[in-house]
Amino acid sequence: MSVVESTLLLGAAFSSFSYILLICFVVLVLLLALVFFGMFASVASLWFRAFMSGAGVGPVQMVVMKLKKVNPQVIVDSRIMAVQSGITNVSTNAMESHYLAGGNVPVVVRSLVAAHRAKIDLDWNTAAAIDLAGRNVMEAVQTSVKTKVIDCPDVTRHGRATLDGVARDGIQLKARARVTVRTNLSQLIGGATEETIIARVGEGIVSAIGSCETHKEVLANPMLIARAVLNKGLDSQTAYEIVSIDIADIDVGDNVGARLQADQAEADVRIARAKAEERRAQAVAREQEMKALTQEHQAEVVLAESEIPKAMAEAYRSGNLRAAGR
């Protein structure tokens, strides 16, 4: 076989192989196109609605959402809501990431829309972080627009109906307050909750009552307590900003000072009785010691007297007694 014939055979074989590769590539492209159009067919209506709304969600993005197990209905509806409300700086990828992280995309978008309409500074990252932290971001925005009233103390949480403080004259006062707050979005992440507000306000009211000279001063002007509490800046490092503190009710309780004085007097009496009993016991013990000492001395006298007959007998035997007689 000549060189020319070999070259022709190789060229024919290469052409056949290239033709087969081309056919395989075309078939693969057709299969991918069929799969793409098959997946896109289920979301075509969503894509058309997004296109007519100017949301800017492309067909490829719709198919990729399905591949990533992202619900296109949620993303498209949220994207349309944001764009129609004038929020165009939130991308579809950001919504998909938040969805995959377990966040509630529609709630976050609604909170952004509400904040945008109320001219509240709230961006997507902050709202998404609040949502992932377990806080209700929509409620936070609503509380920023419309204030919230917190009862202090809260009977349902603490079981107490009043805050009890004692003025310097010893009279107890029972007060109830209502705290008006609004959400501080900048400190909502990591900020203290309502429990801290209630505790701080309760502590401030008790302290303000205790700093008054008489209970009549508080009864005459309850706003003294409110002003004293507000001036302490109790909303620092909390998720709320205190708007006002109103004293809803204040009543006179027990005369704690008199009761404490009576208790102190009774305690002093008990102490005096205990000391008197101690002195009496010491006297009785001393008396018993003296009696024992007396008995001991009497025994020594008897013992000494018993030696007298012995001495006389000895004197008789020795003749000393008779000589002394003569």
Q: Go through the domains of the chain in sequence order and give each one's CATH number.
A: 31-144 (no CATH), 150-258 (3.30.479.30)
Closest CA to 173 of 99, 253, 84: 253
Half-sphere exposure of 9 (CA within 13 A, CB side): 6
Per the CB < 8 A criterion, the answer to whether 229 and 205 are in contact is yes
Two structure tokens written together for 243:
């708007």
**Which H or E run includes 219?**
helix 215-220
Q: Which helix (H) or strand (E) holds 247?
A: strand 240-255
Q: How far apart are CA 152 and CA 129, in angstroms?
A: 30
CB 150 within 8 A of CB 235: no
The DSSP 8-state label assigned to residue 85 in this structure reads T
Judged on CB neighbours under 10 Å (0-12, 13-18, 19+), 147 is middle
Residue 55 tokens, joined: 């949301």
pLDDT of residue 325: 45
Alpha carbon 122 to chain centroid distance? 24
Residue 200: CB partners within 8 Å, gap ≥ 6? 232, 234
**Which parts of 11-55 are beta strand (E)?**
none
What is the structure's pLDDT at 109?
92
Measured CA distances, 93 to 17, 97, 113, 124, 219 (Å): 43, 6, 19, 12, 60
Query: Cα–Cα distance between 310 and 18 in angstroms, integer?
Result: 155
Let me know how long the chain is: 326
Q: Are 202 and 285 in contact (CB under 8 A)?
A: no
Helix axes of 124-132 and 137-145: crossing angle, nearest 10 degrees: 120
Tally Cβ neighbours within 10 Å of residue 250: 20
Beta bridge partners of 245: 179
Q: End-to-end alpha-carbon separation of the chain, Å? A: 189
pLDDT score of 38? 61
**Which amino acid, one-letter code, is at 139?**
E
* pTM exceeding 0.75: no
The Cα 180–Cα 18 span in angstroms is 79
Kind and range of the H or E run holding 182: strand 171-183
Each of the 326 residues of the chain gets a pLDDT tens digit; together they read 555 555 555 555 556 666 676 677 677 777 766 665 666 666 777 777 777 778 777 777 777 787 788 888 888 888 888 888 888 888 888 998 998 898 899 999 999 998 888 888 888 888 898 888 888 888 888 887 778 888 888 777 766 778 888 888 888 888 888 888 888 777 777 777 778 888 888 888 888 888 888 878 878 887 888 888 877 777 777 878 888 888 888 888 777 777 777 888 888 889 999 998 888 888 888 888 888 888 888 888 888 877 778 777 777 777 776 544 44
Quick one: three-class SS letters along 273-320? Answer: HHHHHHHHHHHHHHHHHHHHHHHHHHHHHHHHHHHHHHHHHHHHHHCH
